[in-house]
Amino acid sequence: MSELQIDPIQELARTLHDARLAAREIPRITENGPLSIDEAYSVMESGIQLREHDGEQVIAYKMGLTSEAKRRQMGLDQAIFGILTDRMELRSGVPYSLQGRIHPKAEPEIAFRVGRMLDARKNPINADEAWGAVDQVAPAIEVLDSRYVGFKYFSLPDVIADNASSSDYLIGAPVPKPAHWSELEQWKIDFIVNGTVMHQAVASEISGSPIRSLVELTELLARRNQVLPAGSWVLLGAATAAVALEPGMSVELEMQGPSAPSKTRLAVAR
């Protein structure tokens, strides 16, 4: 093989990166040949390197397909993770422009911040250890945007390579951290679109318990020989289906269960 040959992993990452920047949908990358889950994560990581090269910084992670509602909506059956940068973070109160997005959707999430590193490379981390590392709990709204035609019917490797359809995310005001992780399981999540409750769920629909989703992330990262760095925020996966965004739309996440109900809102620009 000539040394000039381009690494196919990097080439796929570049294709997805360019599609995102141009807000242009592309055919699924597995239409040109199969990709393993591991290779797909390599494409994701290579894509993140391109973003870092553009000055972005990895500050958060997300879990995806942790609830039955999401797995059903996407027709996929395994939890995955994605990597989030500072440039994807939205500020509360700033209207969200759909410009530069292809077919964005929003979904309600719960997010944890870890105050110390979680490393599952040698020994698995249990729920108590993971909870001990959590120093903040907050509602969050994730904006997804697939780079694939129609945002539908892709395979796991396709969606992983596309950084788990990541686009943007808003972390709401933190709520008091419960004494025990199991308390979170009863929290109610209302997803309100234009003032009407569109979807409802309880937090136990996220991997059985939101803490389980954090533990799963440490396991998935360990398989890639990686750790969850101290200071990272983690979106634990939506408990409800995602909703397509339109100009002027208001999406709200109301969480009941933390000492006082909390509301987080994303207003889409007209």
Candidate list 48, 74, 170, 220; residue touching ligand OOG; CB under 6 A: 74
218 is an interface residue for ligand OOG by CB under 6 A: no
Contact present, 65 and 51 (Cβ < 8 Å): no
Site for ligand OOG in 165-194 (CB under 6 A): 165
- Residue 123 phi, psi (nearest 5): -125, 135
Nearer to ligand OOG, 8 or 144 (CB): 144
User: 114 touches which of Mg ion, ligand OOG, none (CB within 5 to 8 A by kind)?
Assistant: none
Q: Which stretch binds ligand OOG (CB under 6 A): 11-19, 45-53, 57-65, 177-185?
A: 57-65
Site for ligand OOG in 105-124 (CB under 6 A): 107
258 is an interface residue for ligand OOG by CB under 6 A: no
Quote the DSSP letter at residue 91: P
Q: Which residues of 95-240 form beta strands (DSSP E)?
A: 105-114, 134-144, 166-171, 188-193, 196-202, 233-235
In this structure, how many other beta carbons lie within 10 angstroms of the beta carbon of residue 136?
A: 15
- Residue 65 phi, psi (nearest 5): 60, 40
Angle at 84 between CA 170 and CA 209, to 5 degrees: 70
Nearer to ligand OOG, 222 or 239 (CB): 239
What does the buried/exposed string (b/e) look like for 212-230 if buried means 16 or more CB atoms within 10 Å of the residue's CB? bbbbbbbebbbeeebebee
CB of 68 to ligand OOG, least distance (A): 11
199 is an interface residue for ligand OOG by CB under 6 A: no
Binding site residues, Mg ion, CB under 5 A: 142, 238
Binding site residues, ligand OOG, CB under 6 A: 62, 64-66, 70, 74, 107, 142, 144, 146, 159, 164-165, 237-238
